[in-house]
Amino acid sequence: MTAKPPRVVTRADVARLAGVSTAVVSYVVNDGPRPVAAETAARVREAIELLGYRPNPSARALKLGTTGVLGLVVPDSSNPFFAELGLEVERAATARGLALLMASSNSDIDLESRLLADLMGRQVDGLLVAAAAGPQRLTGPGIRRSQAPVIYLDCARPVEAHSTFSSDSEAGARALVDHLLSVHGHGTVALVMGNHSQPWPDGRELGWQGALDDAGAPGAPLVRAPFDRRGGYEGGLRLLSVPHRPSAVFASSDLQGVGLLRAAHELGVSVPDELAIVAYDGTQESEYCWPPLTCARQRVSEMAEAAVKIIVDAEQPVHRVFDVDVIIRRSCGCPTTAQSVASVQTSLAAPRPAE
């Protein structure tokens, strides 16, 4: 509609202006693979500057087969846990010059597998997946095409040919529940558990049960509800509306803990005096709700860093279980003013699975 179409400047323009070949431009842009005379290089850089040349990443990707882009798929990127995870992954990626393609599956298995296929199809250099449905969904078309590593970020079992990370949720849950039992003297502890959809038992549930069993505590109510705030709220309403309501409850996510808190407040149940609450995840939100939640915190940034490193350094697949930190705040009944933190030692608590 206006004047001259300002054709985008290409490597050939730079070469022409600098009076060199395109190869040389490539060498100075990429700082290799062949050496370039200092003076020539300076001339090229000047030309680049002058023309405002930027390499075309598509061309580069086409040639190299590598995009400099990572993919991340989570069930819900607005859940603070995944938001924080995403932020850390993005940091780790940016620090290495990579960009991050983010996708949320809304916990929908089919959407999740479509997103995975789409990202793979976009030639990401690596895919990080906090899978709603466990790791089995690798099979669609589009997966074949790429050799890009796929890392499962919330996967308690090793998977052939993939890196699998998980937090030691069992140890974390056990420590939390045990704290309620032995320090605060609760007879038993109820559980609000999210809809874990992976093909093996959830560590949080295992840890909860284990702590109860170890203490010889009687069976306690378990309510299943979504991992979000509303799930915790409604689960809490159910849990607290019975004649003999529990005196302590473990929520399988921060968000559920927050919902639980709301339910307690609405029902006029005082926390922690009449009801102790502990939660799993340890996002910032758990620190600022009221009362602040005693929780087991996942080492999100460590996981993010490790995952990106595996991809960038093309490391062999590993199965890693990350320690979890128990953070004592007020919701359990501890009188702390300054919070205290203790790391839960995985190695002591979790025997190697014999797979």
Partner DNA sequence: CTGTTAGCGCTTTCAC
Partner DNA sequence: GTGAAAGCGCTAACAG
Q: Which residues bind DNA (CB under 7 A)?
A: 7-8, 10-12, 19-27, 29-30, 32-37, 39-41, 54-56, 59-60, 62-64
CA dihedral 43, 45, 47, 50 (to 10 degrees): -130
Q: Are 87 and 112 in contact (CB under 8 A)?
A: no
> What's the rounded Cα separation, in Å, for the pair 127 and 340?
35
Instruction: Mention every residue, 6+ apart, whose C-beta is less than 8 A from residue 24.
Output: 15, 18, 36, 40, 44
User: Which x/- pattern, by CB under 8 A, does the window 128-147 give for a second copy?
Assistant: -------------xx-xxx-
Q: How far apart are CA 9 and CA 135, in angstroms?
A: 44
Work out whether 8 is an interface residue with a second copy (CB under 8 A).
yes
Sign of CA dihedral 54, 58, 62, 65: positive
Binding partner of 36, given DNA, a second copy, none, CB within 5-8 angstroms per partner class: DNA
Q: Which stretch binds a second copy (CB under 8 A): 12-20, 92-100, 200-208, 340-348?
A: 92-100
Task: Quickly list DSSP for 242-304.
Answer: SSS--SEEEESSHHHHHHHHHHHHHHT--TTTT-EEEEEE--THHHHSSSPPEEEEE-HHHHH
Least gap, CB of 316 to a second copy (angstroms): 11
The owner of tokens 């840890």 is 207
* Under rule CB under 8 A, residue 349 binds a second copy: no
Q: Which stretch binds a second copy (CB under 8 A): 19-27, 59-67, 210-218, 241-249?
A: 59-67
Interacting residue with a second copy among 108, 287, 302, 305 (CB under 8 A): 287
Contact range with a second copy by CB under 8 A, out of 14-22, 30-38, 114-122, 180-188 = 114-122
- Using CB distances below 5 to 8 A depending on partner kind, what does residue 259 bind out of DNA, a second copy, none? a second copy
Nearer to a second copy, 271 or 344 (CB): 271
CA distance 261 to 12: 64
Q: Which is nearer to DNA, 141 or 351 (CB)?
A: 141
As measured in angstroms, the least distance from the Cβ of 147 to a second copy is 9
Q: Which of positions 173-192 make contact with a second copy (CB under 8 A)?
A: none
Residue 309 binding: pick among DNA, a second copy, none (C-beta 5-8 Å cut-off by kind):
none
Residue 45 site contact among a second copy, DNA, none (CB < 5 to 8 Å, cut-off depends on kind): none
CA-wise closest residue to 121 among 151, 138, 143: 143
Residue in this structure with the two tokens 């003076």, named with its chain if needed: 39
Smaller CB separation from DNA, 28 or 349: 28
CB-nearer residue toward a second copy: 42 or 62: 62
- The listed partner (DNA, a second copy, none) that binds 12, CB under 5 to 8 Å by sort, is DNA
Question: Nearest to residue 280, comparing CAs of 165, 168, 173?
Answer: 173
By CB under 8 A, residue 104 contacts a second copy: yes
Contact 312, 349 (CB under 8 A): no
Asked if 11 interacts with a second copy (CB under 8 A), we say no
Query: Which C-beta is closer to DNA: that of 14 or that of 223?
Result: 14
Rounded CA-CA distance 349/352 in Å is 10
Closest approach, Cβ 250 to DNA, in A, equals: 51
Helix then strand then coil, in percent of the chain rounded to 5, is 40, 15, 40
Q: 231: helix, coil or strand?
A: helix
Residues engaged in binding a second copy (CB under 8 A): 8-9, 49, 52, 54-59, 61-62, 67-69, 76-78, 80, 83-84, 86-87, 90-91, 94, 99-104, 115, 118-119, 121-123, 141-142, 144-146, 229, 233, 258-259, 261-262, 265, 284-285, 287-292
